């Protein structure tokens, strides 16, 4: 009787061990990357060094333009014309570069309503195809943002096409949005970047637009946690929505908080992420921003879904340069 009971206990323990092993068993991608790490020097091989955001741009105060993709195949508003999507993306990217832009972000803006976290595989495939053509067509740094908050997909696309950075809407913390409650996955994003050996910087929103932060964490505290605990390479401060002006006080608070806690060499850059125009770009830099991300103001007629206007790009870059000369 006692022997049978001991045998049963041993079996139960063995089953539990197997269950835990299965739960922790890496995915095929992880197995492949683990093998690569082993062949490169074993599990103790050094993790990749990510090129700092500040050194990726030729300008000291970069202006980054948005390539807002039309609805991709598989989304409600898509008409199924893949060629039209790629043609528009290439035209916008080339117009941004022709106007003197310092970098650009490729984003699936037209895919609303957005998946909260993981987008379908066909979205990743479509964005990779478009991003490949865009990175081949321009000579400025390119970033990837997969809405609403699929950092793993963005990082995977960026690594595949040799892009420079990703934008992550909710990197740490929690936000209430029209897609529901979004939670940061910094722990997954950083481990994926290490696993696939990607020299891709992470530009994280703090108190992201079209969202309400859960809890009473101040924006400067959120920025510090994104950098210190989430290991973001830079942060973005935005207004309440696309094209909405960003509060300069918030920019100042974030810039001051990071400046106080970081050395000059390691201080992550602060970008203003919405509402930047030719009239406000100088104020953004005066408030402590290191760069700006601009979409709506660079479009024909200042309409977010319109094509990019090279003339409007040139005007905004000139306003930035005029302010730099005044310094």
Whole-prediction pTM? 0.84
More confident residue, 306 or 14: 306
CB atoms closer than 10 angstroms to residue 95 = 22
Contact 312, 281 (CB under 8 A): no
Q: Residue 167: what pLDDT?
A: 98
Residue by residue, DSSP assigns 103-171 as EEEEE-GGGPSPPSSPPPHHHHHHHHHHHHHHHHH--S-EEEE-TTT-HHHHHHHHHHHT-SEEEES-S
Indicate whether 323 pLDDT > 90: no
- pLDDT, tens digit, for every residue of 287-297? 999 999 999 99
Three-class DSSP category at 129: helix
Domain boundaries 53-326, corresponding CATH code = 3.20.20.70
Segments in 53-140 forming alpha helices (H): 82-98, 121-137
d(CA 316, CA 321): 9
Residue 235: strand pairing partners:
204, 270
pLDDT band at 188 (very low <50, low <70, confident <90, very high): very high
d(CA 241, CA 261): 29
Gyration radius from the chain CA atoms: 22
């Amino acid at each position: 009787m006692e022997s049978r009971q001991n045998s049963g206990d041993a079996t139960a323990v063995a089953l539990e061990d197997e269950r835990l092993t299965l739960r922790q068993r890496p995915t095929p991608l992880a197995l492949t990357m683990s093998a690569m790490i082993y062949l490169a020097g074993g599990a103790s091989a050094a993790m990749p060094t990510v090129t700092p955001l500040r050194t990726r741009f030729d300008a000291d105060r970069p202006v980054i333009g948005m390539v807002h993709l039309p609805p991709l195949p598989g989304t409600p508003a898509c008409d199924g014309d893949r060629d039209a999507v790629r043609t528009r993306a290439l035209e916008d990217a080339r117009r941004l570069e022709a106007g003197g832009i310092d970098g650009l972000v490729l984003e699936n803006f037209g895919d609303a309503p957005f998946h909260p976290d993981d987008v379908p595989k066909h979205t990743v495939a479509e964005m990779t195809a478009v991003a490949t053509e865009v990175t081949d067509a321009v000579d400025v740094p390119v970033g990837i943002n997969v809405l609403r908050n699929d950092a793993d997909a963005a990082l995977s696309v960026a690594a595949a096409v040799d892009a420079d950075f990703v934008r992550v809407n909710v990197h740490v913390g929690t936000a209430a949005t029209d897609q529901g409650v979004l939670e940061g996955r910094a722990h997954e994003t950083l481990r994926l970047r290490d696993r696939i050996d990607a020299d891709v910087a992470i530009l994280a929103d703090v108190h992201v637009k079209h969202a309400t932060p859960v809890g009473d964490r101040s924006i400067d505290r959120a920025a510090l946690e994104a950098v210190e605990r989430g290991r973001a390479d830079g942060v973005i401060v935005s207004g309440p929505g696309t094209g909405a002006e960003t509060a300069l006080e918030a920019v100042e608070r974030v810039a001051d908080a990071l400046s106080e806690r970081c050395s000059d060499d390691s201080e992550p850059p602060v970008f203003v992420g919405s509402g930047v125009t030719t009239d406000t770009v100088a104020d953004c830099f005066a408030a402590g921003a290191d760069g700006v991300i601009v979409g709506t103001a660079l479009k024909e007629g200042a309409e977010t879904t319109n094509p990019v206007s090279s003339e409007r790009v040139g005007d905004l870059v000139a306003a930035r340069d005029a302010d730099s000369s005044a310094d």
